[in-house]
A and B are shown apart, each in its own frame.
Chain A
Amino acid sequence: MPYSFDWSSILRAWPYLLDGLGMTAFLVVVAMAGGIVLGTGLALARTFGPKPLAVAAAGYVNFFRSIPLILTIFWVFFLVPVVLRAITGDPYLTVGPIWSALAAFILAESAYYCEIIRAGIGSVRRDQLRAAQALGLTGFQSMLHVVLPQAFRNMAPSLVNQSVALLKDTSLVYVISLTDFLGAASAIGQRDGRMVELYLFAAAVYLALCSLGVWAVGRLQSTRSRHA
């Protein structure tokens, strides 16, 4: 007998799934903001920093890019409470999975964002920096007002691309039992014995969201090539 579909449990579990989707959105937005800020710092350190700092930043980036994200999540999940207990002296301190997941994503994604931002900074002409100096801007001011605005415009498509990858990666919080969208779909699927419908639905939702990102990248690229 072929499988008989029953999609009604998705309708009944709608509020729960929406909560999960909210958690996914929260993780994506915070990790994206944190990752871009930290990634910009790393990229500046790699490009303009003194030698030891540049080497340290490069080491950081290569380290996080060579280990699986799941392993980073485990590291943070187990290590952070131990470190915080040592610092605060409170032996019963616990850190929720949300904060562990966020810290892991920011640490790991900043390595990926760093490489994109570095390429973006590399695409700004050196004359721009000289001109900024000639105008009497300090190093910090010329970065903030001259180099970074142009760099970010050049790398907007890649940044969106990486954020789509981040959206897909957030589903990995499954391994520390944090209920994001996939976790919610999984829980409902197991409860109702409707894993087929729930996983297919989850795949469709992720596909729709990522397609939106891909479409945005296409838009950004075509507007850029029109202005160029």
Chain B
Amino acid sequence: MDYNWDWLILFKQSVTGEGLYGVMLLKGLGWTLVISLASWIVALALGIALGVGRTLPNRWVRWPVTVYVHVFRNTPLLVQLFLWYFVVPELLPPAWGDAIKQMDSTLEQLLAVLLCLTLYTAAKAAEQVRTGIESVAAGQRQAGTALGLSTLGLYKHVLLPQALRIVIPPLTSDFMNVFKNSAVALTIGLMELTGMSREISEFSAHPFEAFTAATLAYMLITLAVVWLMRTIEVRTRVPGLLGA
């Protein structure tokens, strides 16, 4: 193969004057981490609330949540991002829409990406939490009710402490997916890790070094997530359960 590998490319100045290619890549990594972690934290909280909502006896709560989860899980992430970025500002009252369009462009992109990733991930997490709550034995719910617990008490003291621990393994893959999904940000011009590696590949004519560096970074992130969730899982293990 007549491709000239040159790993030192990451320590060379960018032709765009943005500094070293390696530093650009680190900036991209920074964006990926910020976007993903911020979205994940909010999505997890929202997902737990929605997951509980889907199992409540009150159908005026259950129905809207079910519709939300279905819609956000069954449209492509990219379409959702385009809706938040291109469509929503047009449909808002004109004064608001204009305010959004006059924002700093990076801030505007960041808002759309955060909103999009958070709501998409929350829908996924809600589904896991619902499954977790439903997998807690039905007898426990009845026992809690028989003890005179209110619905709030039942969830707080009986269902959630168990369900949240059961869903840690499936939530691990959702957590990993946030980092991978954050790559869609490049389509609206926010230069996170994948977008940055693409840009470096164009400017430096060394695509494979840039892609290799990005790939390694994603693999490290995955390892870190798996390790973190594994630690939490071991610490919070439910005594007496096989899967735990």
| Chain B associates with chain A | yes
Is the Cβ of A196 less than 8 Å from the Cβ of B183?
Answer: no
B198 surroundings in chain A (CB, below 8 A): 74
Q: For the complex, what is the distance from the CA of A70 to the CA of B180, rounded to whole Å?
A: 9
CB within 8 A of B1: which of A2, A86, A210?
Answer: A86
CB under 8 Å from chain A, chain B span 61-111: 70-71, 73-80, 82-83, 86-87, 90-91, 93-94
B179 nearest CB across to chain A (Å): 8
A-B contact number at CB 8 A: 114
CB A203 to nearest CB in B, in angstroms, measures 5
Q: Which B residues from 182 to 223 make CB contacts under 8 A with A?
A: 182-184, 186-187, 194, 197-198, 201, 207-208, 211, 214-215, 218-219, 221-222
Most buried by A among B82, B94, B208, B214: B82
| A26 close to chain B: CB less than 8 A | no
Report which residue of B73, B75, B181, B201 has the largest number of chain A beta carbons within 10 angstroms of its beta carbon: B75
Tell me the bound Cα distance from A227 to B189 in angstroms.
51
Question: A182: which B residues are within 8 A, CB to CB?
Answer: 76, 78-79, 82
A145 to B71: give the CA distance in the assembly, Å: 40
Residue from A68, A70, A78, A171 in contact with B79 in the complex, judged by beta carbons closer than 8 Å? A171
- Residue of A74, A82, A202 most packed against chain B (CB within 10 A): A74
Using CB atoms and an 8 Å cutoff, list the residues of chain A in contact with chain B.
Answer: 1-3, 63, 65-71, 74-75, 78-79, 82-83, 86, 164, 167-169, 171-172, 174-175, 182, 186, 189, 195-196, 199-200, 202-203, 206-207, 210-211, 214
Contact B76 A69 (CB under 8 A): no
Q: How far is the CA of A196 from the CA of B73 in the complex (A)?
A: 21
Q: Verify A71–B215 contact, CB threshold 8 A.
A: yes
Min CB distance B222 to A, Å, is 4
A196 touches B90 (CB 8 A): yes
Contact with A169, one of B76, B93, B197, B211 (Cβ below 8 angstroms): B76
In the assembled complex, the CB of B5 is this many whole angstroms from the nearest CB of chain A, namely 12
26 contacts between A and B (CB under 8 A): A65-B176, A66-B219, A67-B180, A67-B219, A68-B183, A68-B218, A70-B186, A70-B194, A71-B215, A78-B201, A86-B1, A86-B2, A164-B74, A171-B76, A171-B78, A182-B78, A182-B79, A189-B86, A195-B86, A196-B86, A202-B79, A203-B83, A206-B76, A207-B71, A207-B75, A211-B70
